Amino acid sequence: MRGRDDDLIVAVDVGSCKVVVAIAAQDDTGELSVIGLGCSESNTGVKDGCIVNINSIRDAITEAINQAEMQAGREVRNVFIAVSGKDIKSQNEQGISTASGMNKEIRRNDIERAVEQAKGISISSDRRILHVLPRWYKVDKQDNIQDPLGMFGTRLEAEVHIITTEETAIRNVLMCFQRMNLEVNAIFLQNIADAKAVLSEDEKELGVLLLDIGAQTTNVSVYYKQAPSYTTVFQKMGGDQITFDLSKGFGIPLGTAEKLKCEVGIADYECTNELEKIQIPAVGGRAAKIHKRSEVVDYIQPRLLEIFGTIRENLKNNDLLDCINGGVVITGGTALLPGIESVAQQVFGVAVRVATLKPYGGLGDKINSPEYSVVNGILGLGDELSGYYGGGSTETKHKRSEGKNTFMTKVSDFIKQFF
């Protein structure tokens, strides 16, 4: 009989081409250790980041969770999930409150009142606020404050980053888990999980562009002065488009083109030479053909230049090009293409790197790759929200627990509004 406990952090990444599940628990040192993994590649229920078949996506989630449960020897009852979403929009808003504590000390409720006022924006009835992320606070004339709690002043201002999405997109995701009798602790946009997994504090301070190029979508985030500044998701723009180009260019089935991309795909001519050859299977029983490996670049590089060019134009239109001096970080499965950094550098003109992830213990090395950055980040976020903290005094842990409970209550209220 498998144990059924609530001391687990279960991360579920609902992607366009697969569902990935990771089960983690605290080890003897107080660190997270991954004890179970599951992956369902038969995910036909999501298209361009949106659910198009609830039964199909439920089956894919079930398959991935069952694999992870079997490996962990534990049964899942609650999960942290990440999704892409449809028509993701973001905006930065400000709110104001006054200090209510003795001698004008700023209390928790003062911060919450300022944030609540900032999020009081008017949105259409078919949209919902998914995230409200504090950017900075200002106490009287002192600005760029990360945490004003306990400071003294009269006027408190808060600037927050608000991310909204279509209500049906979130409702359909939550419905899948409800039908599986699984409690959703929190739901994150994949961009947020990516940032948790791969961005350094220095990059976020200087200004950084984070790109997660998935199968059918590209998630875009800009961080500047430690704070999220811009968030969006481009649909119908990802690794699948590269696969289609290879399929058409070489006259091969999509399955063969995907295998070609993953095994010998490269993004830049500097990664190969004129003497390197590859064998590409033909259809209809005909003999395989020999091609120069550089021919693969002929199809991959133009598509990447188009993707990066579209994103750069979007940033330019939103006056954000001066906010990415810390460089570009690329994650997602497409980030594994050799030479992708140099192609991106041609377009953005700043330093570019492929994401490196925080290593977890146990089976953590299995998800220590850019294609698993979302599920890796969910574990980190779940770790924070679940109170899995190593060291520290009992008083400190109690304060952290209080903060966690407040956040989780808000998450619960957010989820309840859909049912």
Polymer length in residues for the chain: 419
Residue 279, strand partner residues? 290
**Would you state the pLDDT for residue 43?**
64
Distance between CA atoms of residues 84 and 52, nearest Å = 13
- Any idea which residue has 């109690």 for tokens? 398
pLDDT grade, residue 15 (50/70/90)? confident
Evaluate whether 274 touches 292 at the Cβ level (below 8 Å): yes
Q: Which two tokens stand for residue 259?
A: 């295998």
Evaluate whether 24 touches 34 at the Cβ level (below 8 Å): yes
Residue 414 has pLDDT above 60, yes or no: no
**Would you state the pLDDT for residue 55?**
86
Q: Please, what are the domains in the chain?
A: 3-77+358-411 (3.30.420), 86-166 (3.30.1490.110), 199-356 (3.30.420.40)
Express each pLDDT in 250-290 by its tens digit. 999 999 999 999 999 999 999 988 889 999 988 877 778 89
Distance between CA atoms of residues 379 and 372, nearest Å = 11
Question: 200: Cβ–Cβ under 8 A, 6 or more apart, which residues?
Answer: none
Angstrom distances, CA of residue 183 to CA of 10, 172, 176? 11, 15, 11
Distance between CA atoms of residues 10 and 21, nearest Å = 7
Residue 401 has pLDDT above 90, yes or no: no
Express each pLDDT in 183-208 by its tens digit. 999 999 999 999 999 999 999 999 99
Distance between CA atoms of residues 122 and 25, nearest Å = 41
Q: Pairing mode, if any, of strands 352-354 and 328-331? A: parallel
- Any idea which residue has 């006056």 for tokens? 319
* pTM value > 0.85: yes
The SS3 assignment for 128 reads strand
Question: Which of 291, 129, 272, 136 shows the shortest CA–CA distance to 204?
Answer: 136
Q: Which two tokens stand for residue 67?
A: 């694999």
Residue type, 305: L
Distance between CA atoms of residues 187 and 210, nearest Å = 20
The SS3 assignment for 96 reads strand
**Would you state the pLDDT for residue 398?**
43
Report the side by side order of strands in the sheet with 9-14.
Answer: 183-189, 78-83, 9-14, 19-26, 32-40, 361-362
